[in-house]
Amino acid sequence: MTSYNRRHVLKASAAFAGASALGFPAIVRAQASTIKIGHLVPLTGFLGAIGSYAQLGVKLAAEEINEAGGIMGRKIDLISEDSVNPATAANKAQRMIEQDGAAVLLGEISSASALTIMQVAERNKKVFFSTGARSDALRGKNCNRYSFHCDIPNTVMVNAVGTALNQKGLVKGKKFVTLTADYIFGHDLLKAAKSFFAANDATLIGDELIATDVTDFSPYLLKIRQAKPDVVCCNLAGNQVTNLVKQYAEFGFPYPLVGFNLNTGDAWAAGAGNLSGFWPTVWYHTLDNPASKAFVANFTKKYGKPPENHAWIEYVTLKLLAQAIADTKSTESEALIAHFEKESQFDIMKARKAYFRSWDHQLVQEAYPFTVKAKADMKDQWDMLVLGDTVPVASAPLESIYPNKEQNPCAMKV
Amino acid sequence: MQIVFLLEQVVNGLVLGGYYLLIALGLSLIFSVGGVVNLAHGAFYALGAYISVQLTGYIGFGPAVAVSPLLVALLGILFERYLLRRFYSADPILGLLVTFGLAMIVEQLIRIIWGAPPISAIMPQALKGSIIVGEFLFSRYRLILLAIVALVLLGLWLLLQRTSFGRVVRAGIQRPDMVAVLGIRLQPYMTTIVMLGVGMAALGGALFAPITIVHPAMGADVLIVAFVVVVIGGLGSFWGVVLAALLVGVVRGVTIHFMPAAGEASIYALMFLVLLFRPRGLLGERIEKFE
């Protein structure tokens, strides 16, 4: 038998094991055509699960646009890849612009990756639609005029859930423990949560920063029990929300678990009977309006399951981008920026129309708190959420739940 | 009170270590006997989880958790017979490449069969909740999990130490040439070891499915920790792996108690220290064929 040195084997194995942590390649590429759009979304890692929904949404939009003859006769060529991590995301974005000739960039869920893509967009003077990143800082101190933000920011999620929690008397005088994702998004969300607690007479008695690769939460759950809070609040993202929800149900703690961030995909993955409490969402497939119903029907027919909120935002964004290109008859960045800064209203499958606010480029829209359906009342595995009252109420302006000019330090260089 | 909280983390770490053990032990066994680091081990863990979730719909939770590892163990036989066997005496890099490739193929197959989004997995209501023993709180489910791990461990130990099968395997680890001279073919033994190893990984997946997210890349997540455990324990050592798994669980829990943000990093710091002072691992044996 040939013999090999143990050290040699160990070194090589460690290298491979490390490579597998970076994620296996998952690359999807559309065939060549005329308007090239660079699309990046995490398909691996802790946001990969919801990223897969995002990709389905953007592909459906591209297919529909192309089947209808494209934009001014030009077809969309969607170059869609796994963004992997912030550094890789930036490299890929640069390559898509430089070598693939992408006219516009679109996508992302991770706030950390969105931030690096925003810098690439600014450097290359190309427009980037950040579809799923929720950090306030992206549209605040890190904002730039080439970047547009489609999802609701952390502040809006906190306001949506906070309103519902206040109505149930779960805030004033209560003791909170938070579990926070240890990267830009989590830090940002914690900041929004802290100002909410301070404004509403709640005390934060414990906060755990949690690395994004944590899958077992049992040591943190023990610490929660030791702290004896009134309410436990989840400021995590992606797979970690699912893992926490499942393990929280496993331990069966009496303190209500609420959260300031959730994507429907994470809730579905947690399974019936595990999720409870109050959470925010940006869109849900049961919203009762014609545009939403048509989209849900088409999506479900094609993929055999209803769209998740990231599928929705990607679909909506590519559709409104296509409309903008058709209206301005241009894919030039300056023309597109000028068009969106006019604050024209878009139907985004909600009761009220939305618009990109001119001074910080974020899509101003409604949001919803939700509670969870009893298992017995669920029609199918996706029929899980009960939407609460839309925020803001119909009589209030949409911007009332968004940070105003004093609160949001966005200064764009022209 | 502080000391009780700390002890609670230690005990919880031991429970978690039991779960790491299920995956790491097979990895270590396959390497000891065959000399191949099975990077597809995580893929079998993922298959165990997916098949168990799928079967739960038809035969219920308990039977599904039992049947899924058996099915995956059968796959393990095919894996050994048609793939792994060719690489025992080859350059280790080939074994790594082929098992890494297999891991990618299985992950993509899972995407094709079950879809890229995670699937939901739940446990029976009766298994949920905590039990308080003295000052300590345990998740009821994890205690059951620990009992199963202990049984598996005992069975495996008896198999390796008290049967003629075990004697041949142990001899094969140290002196395959001698075993061959005695007229014993090691191959059927190797098939059994791989079957047991991937079966245990699948059992880990099936047991952990209700308390962790079930998604195509779940195998890659767990492989790293299992590999760290094997390195700390020392390749080829049964009790070394047991000790390392428990130690990793405890070190992680205690670190989280004092410095929550460093919880995951502590595992790698531990590996670093062990490699620095005991490059062969805590209880690693000197195995002639690897020196």
A90 and A181 belong to one structural domain: no
Residue A7 lies in a domain: no
A188 and A228 belong to one structural domain: yes
Residue A10 lies in a domain: no
Q: Between A1, A4, A218, which is nearest B139 by CB?
A: A218
Are A246 and B290 a contacting pair at CB < 8 A?
no
For residues B59-71, average pLDDT: 97
Are A209 and B260 a contacting pair at CB < 8 A?
yes
pLDDT number for residue A372: 94
Are B217 and A24 a contacting pair at CB < 8 A?
yes
- Interchain CB contacts (distance < 8 Å): A and B: 190
Which of A1, A13, A220 would you mutate first to test chain B, the one with the most B CBs within 10 A? A13
A298 and A390 belong to one structural domain: no
Which of A4, A43, A276, A302 would you mutate first to test chain B, the one with the most B CBs within 10 A? A4
Domain CATH code at residue B183: 1.10.3470
Q: What is the mean pLDDT of chain A?
A: 91
d(CA A320, CA A65): 11
d(CA B190, CA B171): 12
- Higher-scoring residue by pLDDT: B258, A32: B258
Q: Which domain holds residue B32?
A: 2-290
Q: Which domain holds residue A88?
A: 28-153+288-364
A71 and A99 belong to one structural domain: yes
A142 and A169 belong to one structural domain: no
State the nearest Cα–Cα gap between B268 and chain A, in angstroms: 12
In chain A, which residues have their Cβ closer than 8 Å to the Cβ of B214? 269
Q: Between A3, A208, A226, which is nearest B5 by CB?
A: A226
pLDDT number for residue A28: 43
Q: Is the pLDDT of residue A293 over 70?
A: yes
For residues A57-84, average pLDDT: 95
State the nearest Cα–Cα gap between B45 and chain A, in angstroms: 15
A216 and A78 belong to one structural domain: no
State the nearest Cα–Cα gap between A316 and chain B, in angstroms: 20
Q: Between B120, B123, B231, which is nearest A10 by CB?
A: B231
Phi-psi region for residue B216, left (φ > 0), alpha (ψ -120 to 50) or beta?
Answer: alpha
pLDDT grade for B289, boundaries at 50, 70 and 90: low
For residues B33 and B92, the answer to whether their CB atoms sit within 8 Å is no
In chain B, which residues have their Cβ closer than 8 Å to the Cβ of A3? 288-291
Give the model confidence (pLDDT) of A332-341 as tens digits.
Answer: 999 999 999 9
pLDDT number for residue A273: 87
Q: Between B100, B235, B287, which is nearest A16 by CB?
A: B100
A276 and A213 belong to one structural domain: yes
pLDDT number for residue B154: 95
Q: Across A25-29, A391-395, B115-119, which has the greatest mean pLDDT?
A: A391-395
Would strands A385-387 and A28-29 be described as parallel, antiparallel, or unpaired?
unpaired
Which of A2, A3, A5, A20 would you mutate first to test chain B, the one with the most B CBs within 10 A? A20
A316 and A335 belong to one structural domain: yes
State the nearest Cα–Cα gap between A63 and chain B, in angstroms: 20
A296 and A359 belong to one structural domain: yes
pLDDT grade for A27, boundaries at 50, 70 and 90: very low
DSSP A209-232: EE-TT----HHHHHHHHHH--SEE
For residues A234-251, average pLDDT: 94
In chain B, which residues have their Cβ closer than 8 Å to the Cβ of A219? 9, 12-13, 252-253, 256-257, 263
pLDDT grade for B34, boundaries at 50, 70 and 90: confident
Residue A413 lies in a domain: no
Give the model confidence (pLDDT) of B199-240 as tens digits.
Answer: 999 999 999 999 999 999 999 889 999 999 999 998 778 899
Q: Is the pLDDT of residue A45 over 90?
A: no
Which of A187, A250, A285 would you mutate first to test chain B, the one with the most B CBs within 10 A? A250
For residues B49-75, average pLDDT: 97
Q: What is the DSSP letter of A376?
A: G
Q: Is the pLDDT of residue A49 over 90?
A: no
Give the model confidence (pLDDT) of A175-212 as tens digits.
Answer: 999 999 999 999 999 999 999 999 999 999 999 999 99
Percent of chain B exceeding pLDDT 90 equals 68
Task: Indicate the number of domains in chain A.
Answer: 2
Judging by beta carbons within 10 Å of its beta carbon (0-12, 13-18, 19+), is residue B93 exposed, middle or buried? middle
A81 and A135 belong to one structural domain: yes
Are B280 and A6 a contacting pair at CB < 8 A?
yes
Residue A174 lies in a domain: yes
Task: Indicate the number of domains in chain B.
Answer: 1
State the nearest Cα–Cα gap between B124 and chain A, in angstroms: 10
A101 and A203 belong to one structural domain: no
- Higher-scoring residue by pLDDT: B120, A24: B120
The sign of the dihedral angle between the CA atoms of A404, A408, A411, A412 is negative
Domain CATH code at residue A272: 3.40.50.2300
State the nearest Cα–Cα gap between A47 and chain B, in angstroms: 10
Are B89 and A243 a contacting pair at CB < 8 A?
no
Give the model confidence (pLDDT) of B224-233 as tens digits.
Answer: 999 999 999 9
Q: Is the pLDDT of residue A31 over 60?
A: no
Ranking A166-175, B129-138, B144-153, B204-213 by mean pLDDT, the lowest is: B129-138
Q: Between B122, B141, B223, which is nearest A20 by CB?
A: B223
Phi-psi region for residue A343, left (φ > 0), alpha (ψ -120 to 50) or beta?
Answer: left
A281 and A294 belong to one structural domain: no
Are B130 and A219 a contacting pair at CB < 8 A?
no
SS3 label, residue A41: strand
For residues A313-342, average pLDDT: 96
Residue A412 lies in a domain: no
Q: Which residue of A has its CA nearest to B216?
A: A49
pLDDT number for residue A1: 41
